[in-house]
Amino acid sequence: MSTGTSRRATWRPIPVARLAVDDEGEPRAQADLPWLGGHVLVLRERAVTMLAPLLDRYGELLPLACPDADLWLFNVLTVVDALDEKNSELIRFDDGDILNVERYEFRPDLVAGVAVFKVPQLLRGPLFVGDEFVDAVAATGLTGPELTPLWSGAAPAAVQRADG
């Protein structure tokens, strides 16, 4: 979704449906940060209220069209050229573009203090979050996807799949 470009002026809410029950027919918990994929962040109204002051510095919140929930999509506008391609483990297409990242390495000087970002090599790929975002989610008790650390220290984590 995100290419680091604002969508606000032309945005039309995308229709989405909430999966209310799991494969066994049991009701699903209503996460504050519902899972849509590692490339995008979706928020319920409670999460918007608590995280908007932080998120507004890094992108824009755009409404989604959901019949049974007020949902928002976070469009990341912050693109940081912080992927250390030399020290990351990359699988490349024949033309040199990145197909997959097996192990991420970031340039710490570029990601220090950045709460939410994408990298230019993977604009349609994963959303990365730093300690400030992780701490804000933990402090507010918001529920949603598990965040998988990509390295130790003051570096970003990637949003990974979680039931929600």
Confirm whether 117 is domain-assigned. yes
Total domains, the chain: 1
pLDDT at 2: 58
Confidence (pTM): 0.84
Confirm whether 83 is domain-assigned. yes
pLDDT band at 156, cuts 50/70/90? Answer: low
Exposure on the CB side of residue 119, measured as CA atoms within 13 A:
22
More confident site: 149 or 163: 149
pLDDT at 154: 56
What is the span of the domain harbouring residue 144?
Answer: 8-159
Confirm whether 164 is domain-assigned. no
pLDDT band at 164, cuts 50/70/90? Answer: very low
Angle between helices 131-140 and 45-55 (to 10 degrees): 150
Q: CA torsion sign, 40 to 162 to 152 to 121?
A: negative
For residue 54, pLDDT over 50 is answered with yes
- CA–CA distance from 65 to each of 47, 100, 158 (Å)? 17, 31, 26
pLDDT at 159: 43
Roughly how many angstroms between the first and final C-alpha of the chain, as a whole number?
Answer: 20
Confirm whether 1 is domain-assigned. no
Q: CA 79 to CA 89: how far, in whole Å?
A: 21
Q: CA 134 to CA 10: how far, in whole Å?
A: 30
Q: CA torsion sign, 50 to 52 to 53 to 55?
A: positive
Confirm whether 2 is domain-assigned. no
Confirm whether 112 is domain-assigned. yes
Q: Tell me what the mean pLDDT of segment 136-144 comes to.
A: 93
β-sheet bridge partners, residue 65? 15
For residue 125, pLDDT over 70 is answered with yes
Amino acid at 104: Y
pLDDT at 12: 97
Q: Tell me what the mean pLDDT of segment 134-145 comes to.
A: 91
Confirm whether 49 is domain-assigned. yes
Confirm whether 94 is domain-assigned. yes
